Amino acid sequence: GENVEQHPSTLSVQEGDSAVIKCTYSDSASNYFPWYKQELGKGPQLIIDIRSNVGEKKDQRIAVTLNKTAKHFSLHITETQPEDSAVYFCAASSSGNTPLVFGKGTRLSVIA
Amino acid sequence: KAGVTQTPRYLIKTRGQQVTLSCSPISGHRSVSWYQQTPGQGLQFLFEYFSETQRNKGNFPGRFSGRQFSNSRSEMNVSTLELGDSALYLCASSPRQTTNYGYTFGSGTRLTVV
């Protein structure tokens, strides 16, 4: 089955700097790659997703890139703010009938 | 509109007991998935239901079971609780049957087994 590796496990950046989180997946059939943000005491919230027919997607300060050949995808957050501090999870799904498989998460701390 | 509602928010149980957790999806969402979240293992898939049918089941022992009702509400049950079952149990709903679509998660039920 699908396996998703996520790096780094913790990341500290200065406010205003960029943050990059990387994930690799094992199943070449995977075609849907969402990213979730989890704040303390809350459930994960979908922040952006990308499908395999697209190489990059942006939403304001957040962007996701996908390299299907290398089987990796990344989350880029620019101009980080303290409210970006949270745990971020990547996930992958190999078909519409298999469950989302999650990476183990990255704890991002934005230092003011 | 209301989000995914999970009850109770917190639960403390003793080893050997059983527990039932409840999830009410967003109105109109017929797909419900359950995940177990622990610091060491991250988010691990438990079950997925669509229109009262279990579509997928994760690699958990038979002590973990679930069901979905005709109104799309879902419950999961854990029998003969073990200390290792302590975790945050998350429910997510989706408007589509396919898993290639954004899930909306609830805030979870924090289960502590003592």
pLDDT tens sequence across A34-49? 999 999 999 999 999 9
pLDDT over 90 percentage in chain A: 90
Measure A49 CA to nearest chain B CA, in Å: 8
The answer to whether B66 and B78 are in contact (CB under 8 A) is no
Give the other-Cβ count within 10 Å of A72's Cβ: 17
| Closest C-alpha to B106, from A38, A71, A8 | A38
The answer to whether B59 and B47 are in contact (CB under 8 A) is no
For residue B3, what are its two tokens? 């989000």
Minimal Cα distance from A99: which residue of B?
B99
Contact between chains at A45 and B105 (C-beta distance less than 8 A): yes
Contact between chains at A99 and B97 (C-beta distance less than 8 A): no
For residue A60, what are its two tokens? 């304001």
- B106 to chain A, any CB pair closer than 8 A? The answer is yes
Provide the 8-state DSSP code for A93. Answer: B
Q: What is the pLDDT of residue B1?
A: 67
Tens digit of each residue's pLDDT (9 = 90 or more) over B49-98? 999 999 999 999 999 999 999 999 999 999 999 999 999 999 999 988 87
One-letter amino acid of B56: N
| Closest C-alpha to A71, from A10, A25, A17 | A25
Q: In B, which residues are within 8 Å of A105 by CB distance? A: 42
Question: Cα separation of A25 and A3, whole Å?
Answer: 6
Contact between chains at A100 and B103 (C-beta distance less than 8 A): yes
Minimal Cα distance from A95: which residue of B?
B100
How far apart are the two ends of chain B, measured CA to CA in Å?
37
Measure B17 CA to nearest chain A CA, in Å: 25
Contact between chains at B92 and A43 (C-beta distance less than 8 A): yes
